[in-house]
Amino acid sequence: MAKVELKSVVKRFGDVRVVHGIDLEIADNEFIVLVGPSGCGKSTILRMVAGLESISDGEIYIGDRCVNEVDPKSRNVAMVFQNYALYPHMTVHDNMGFSLDMAKRPQKEINEKVRKAASMLELEPYLDRKPEALSGGQRQRVAMGRAIVRQPDVFLFDEPLSNLDAQLRTQMRMELKKLHMKFSTTTIYVTHDQIEAMTLADRIVILKDGLIQQVGTPVEVYEKPANVFVAQFIGNPPMNILEGTVARDQGRLGVRTKRSFFPLQEDRKNLWEGQKVLFGLRPDAIKIGDSLNRIPPEWRCTAQVELTEILGGQSLLDLVVDDEISLIAEVEGRVQMQAGSSVEVGFCFDRVVLFDPETEEALSSVAQLEGTAEGTTPERDIAHKKEIEVHTN
Amino acid sequence: MREVSRDRIKAFLTLLPSIVLIGIFVYGFIGNTIWISLTDWGGVGALAEDPQISYIGFQNYVDLFTGFLEGRFRQDLVNAVYYSVLLLAGAVGLGMFIAILLDRKPMGEDFLRTIFLYPMSLSFIVSGTIWRWLLAPQGGVNILPTYAGMEPLSFQWLASKESVLLFNWQNLLGIILYIAAFILIIVGLLGLKRDPNRAMKRWILPGVIIGAIVWLFGDLLPQAMIMEEMHGLNLATLGIILATVWQYSGYTMALYLAGFNGISQDLRHAAMLDGASEWDYYRRIAIPMLKPITISAVIILSHISLKMFDLIFAMTGPDNAETGHPALNMYLTTFRANDFAKGAAIAIVLFMVAAMFIIPYLISSYRQQKGE
């Protein structure tokens, strides 16, 4: 068990910089998820922590030790690879016990630890099998067992679930979470799947082009994205980003679109009238029907339905407001509406996020969201500048 | 159903020409050679228009293995065994070693790979001639030390009369049993970790018992010959082994390098994180994973060594008894001495020895296919 600290970590491949000075502090026992699109440098960062890639600049600490020059085998980290990287010629037992064997532990201890891990992962019947005789999910478990047996300081996961089918992925995700709760080992988890990030993480680190975009709890990055990229990367369907102008109407500061005006919940000093803004609304912050009751009348307007998609318990509505603004709403229940029909919609404008259209960075928040997780840092700017405060639960 | 049978007929018709040709020219001729080896075709009238040939059973084989006059064949056979073993150890070992070095991606890896593979492209006659010069008594390798101011070597690479690891052919049966016991024990020891009980019962115990019986009662075993006849590793064959290793280690290197490249980098990384050193990685992960390649290399090289002809011909000529080989002997017996029956018997012995290598391989690969 150990904290992990990255200080201005840079990775260059030849002349190409892929990681541009990352600062990140990961607390002991914390579950951190690095998420971002392909090529954002998330796997590279993980591999630098593991010692599989050299560090071009900056420092990485595991515990109190700077590991820049430390061999992977001496870092006491365990990694689960995307393709599991099981040794194909060894049995499950030998795969799981290999690290202990390398550490010259007595055979009795190896057997004991492997059996213990195997019983926890329900792998006992398969100990004498070779990986080729296992299903994808079982291989995944063996890979995790191999990591657990070592009792490492840090677990590293490199997209471990991406080779599984959707159902198994959900199941393994839950098991991973349970395992983490059981072992409470510092974990760094890389994925491109924002659902995994949202469900597993204590804190999510969103990366793009080798830069941290935001660090925060899942709720934080969902409700208060630091910029348009985060807003659209986290959440499915992504946040609706609309254009508007800051205006004052009947004494209240708000956002004006072509035909409508939505007052903000509170006055904000950093906005001025006539300022162009982008405003973001989560699809679930758009209400119709009965849920409208909770929305004040000034946050309502009329929209045309373009398409409805029923997901099962929820429905997705493609809406057009003011004849030109397209947005997606996610509403409860099965809603069946004719294309072209009109519907009254209400925006939870207390959840709106304003962005600067030039920089696409968020303008500081409208309101504190109710139910924001405790212990998160309210000053989003901190995350923004890639200076991260330790998250302590 | 009709579709299937039509497909089968088509497949059969397509294969028929090759089945017929292989049937005649491979298996038919093997059968013919076996038949000839069981006759007395040879001697003065061998090349007569209608030679007198009569069936004599296994007499030719008995002569070859125990006959008074066939000591040269027995030494050739011993040569072939030592030659195969040393070539395998040398070419597989060296090839694997170079492959490991190149697998670490040194500068100019492509260039080096070509250089190491290049000897493969030479004909044995060419490389044999080069090595004959290099291993000449007063030139080449032997005068290398003089460049460092030392005395030249005096070893007779291709003409040495010395022999080591001698054994008496009279005890052939005992030696074969010792080897069998040794193999049983080795197989048992390898399987000890996986299933101690089975390994003990099936392999180690029988091995120890056979070994003990031969050791205690070896004198009671029938002797192969009436008189003592010593055979061993002729040091003159070292030059030939050296040349063959030089020619083939590039080939095994290419096999292993392709294998190493096929192993996912993640496995190496996983091993590193599991605490394995580079040496551990190759010993415990990479080389065991390439077992199929090792087996292929052993099969291919053992065939080459059992059929070796032209390299020895080029390096020492066919008549140098010290570096003799059954294949050369077969040629000399058949076409110079016109002893067709005995030549055929030598050919069949070589065929059987080669089969000893290839049949277990075919069985195991067939089983693997079935198991999948």
Q: What is the pLDDT of residue B2?
A: 64
Which chain B positions have a beta carbon within 8 Å of A110's beta carbon? none
Question: Based on the domain organization, do B184 and B262 belong to the same domain?
Answer: no
Q: Is B124 domain-assigned?
A: yes
How many structural domains does chain B have? 2
Question: Based on the domain organization, do B191 and B213 belong to the same domain?
Answer: yes
Kindly report, residue by residue over A194-208, the tens digit of the pLDDT. Answer: 889 999 999 999 999
Residue type, B167: F
Please tell me the distance in Å from B115's CA to the nearest CA on chain A.
Answer: 29
Q: Is B53 domain-assigned?
A: no
Hunting for tokens 């294949």 — which residue is that? B327
CATH number of the domain that B322 lies in? Answer: 1.10.3720.10
- Give percent of chain B with pLDDT exceeding 70: 98
Contact A136, A83 (CB under 8 A): no
Q: Nearest chain B residue to A97 by CA: give it.
A: B274
Which helix (H) or strand (E) segment is B188 a member of?
helix B172-191
Beta bridge partners of B46: none
Q: Is B354 domain-assigned?
A: no
Which chain A positions have a beta carbon within 8 Å of B291's beta carbon? 89
Domain of residue B184, residue span: 168-231
Residue B129 scores a pLDDT above 80:
yes
Per the structure block, which two tokens stand in for A109? Answer: 């201890």
- Domains assigned to chain A: 4-223 (3.40.50.300), 237-380 (2.40.50.140)
Question: Based on the domain organization, do B136 and B247 belong to the same domain?
Answer: yes
Q: Is B76 domain-assigned?
A: yes
Q: Are A87 and B289 an interchain contact pair (Cβ–Cβ within 8 Å)?
A: yes
- Please identify, among B231, B248, B277, the residue that sits at the C-terminal boundary of a domain: B231
Q: What is the pLDDT of residue A374?
A: 38
Select the residue from A44, A70, A73 to test the B interface by mutation, using most B Cβ atoms within 10 A.
A73
Strands A203-208 and A31-35: parallel
Question: What is the phi/psi pair of residue B326, to 5°?
Answer: -55, -35
Question: Based on the domain organization, do B84 and B149 belong to the same domain?
Answer: yes
Question: Based on the domain organization, do B249 and B282 belong to the same domain?
Answer: yes
Question: Based on the domain organization, do B334 and B198 belong to the same domain?
Answer: no
Those of residues 262-321 in B touching chain A at CB distance below 8 A are 264, 266-267, 269-277, 280, 284-285, 288-289, 291
Query: What is d(CA A279, CA A363) in angstroms, rounded to the nearest whole number?
Result: 10
Residue A225: pLDDT band (50, 70, 90) is very high
- Give percent of chain A with pLDDT exceeding 90: 42
Kindly report, residue by residue over B180-231, the tens digit of the pLDDT. Answer: 899 888 888 887 776 778 778 888 888 899 999 888 887 788 887 778 888 8
What is the DSSP code (8-state) at residue A270?
Answer: T
Q: Is B183 domain-assigned?
A: yes
Whole-number CA gyration radius for chain A = 24
Return the minimum-mean-pLDDT range out of A135-139, B47-51, B93-97, B128-132.
B47-51
Q: What is the pLDDT of residue B1?
A: 53
Query: What is d(CA B156, CA B159) in angstroms, rounded to the nearest whole number?
Result: 5
Residue A383: pLDDT band (50, 70, 90) is very low
Is the minimum CB–CB distance between A146 and chain B shorter than 8 Å?
yes
Q: What is the pLDDT of residue B153?
A: 81
Name every residue whose Cβ is closer than 8 Å to that of residue A162 and which is 6 or more positions away in sequence. A82, A191, A192, A193
Q: What is the mean pLDDT of residues B354-364?
A: 82
Q: Are B284 and A98 an interchain contact pair (Cβ–Cβ within 8 Å)?
A: yes
Residue type, B263: I
Per the structure block, which two tokens stand in for B234? Answer: 């002729």
Q: Which of B270, B276, B289 sits opposite A79 (nearest CB)?
A: B270
Residue B355: pLDDT band (50, 70, 90) is confident
Question: Based on the domain organization, do B175 and B98 belong to the same domain?
Answer: no
Residue A376 scores a pLDDT above 70:
no
Residue A371: pLDDT band (50, 70, 90) is very low
Q: What is the mean pLDDT of residues B296-319?
A: 88
- Please identify, among B181, B213, B231, the residue that sits at the C-terminal boundary of a domain: B231
Q: Is B5 domain-assigned?
A: no
Q: Are A81 and B270 an interchain contact pair (Cβ–Cβ within 8 Å)?
A: yes
Q: What is the mean pLDDT of residues B326-352?
A: 92
Q: What is the mean pLDDT of residues A41-69?
A: 92
- Please identify, among B231, B255, B283, the residue that sits at the C-terminal boundary of a domain: B231
Strands A57-62 and A4-13: antiparallel
ipTM of the complex: 0.79
Question: Based on the domain organization, do B80 and B204 belong to the same domain?
Answer: no
Query: What is d(CA B63, CA B54) in angstroms, rounded to the nearest whole number?
Result: 17
Q: What is the pLDDT of residue B3?
A: 67
Question: Based on the domain organization, do B247 and B322 belong to the same domain?
Answer: yes
Question: Based on the domain organization, do B223 and B315 belong to the same domain?
Answer: no
Q: What is the pLDDT of residue B343?
A: 93
Question: Based on the domain organization, do B213 and B248 belong to the same domain?
Answer: no
Select the residue from B273, B279, B290, B368 to test the A interface by mutation, using most A Cβ atoms within 10 A.
B273
Q: Is B315 domain-assigned?
A: yes
Q: What is the mean pLDDT of residues A243-257?
A: 87
Query: What is d(CA B25, CA B17) in angstroms, rounded to the nearest whole number?
Result: 12
Q: Is B11 domain-assigned?
A: no
Q: Are B273 and A78 an interchain contact pair (Cβ–Cβ within 8 Å)?
A: yes
Question: Based on the domain organization, do B90 and B206 belong to the same domain?
Answer: no
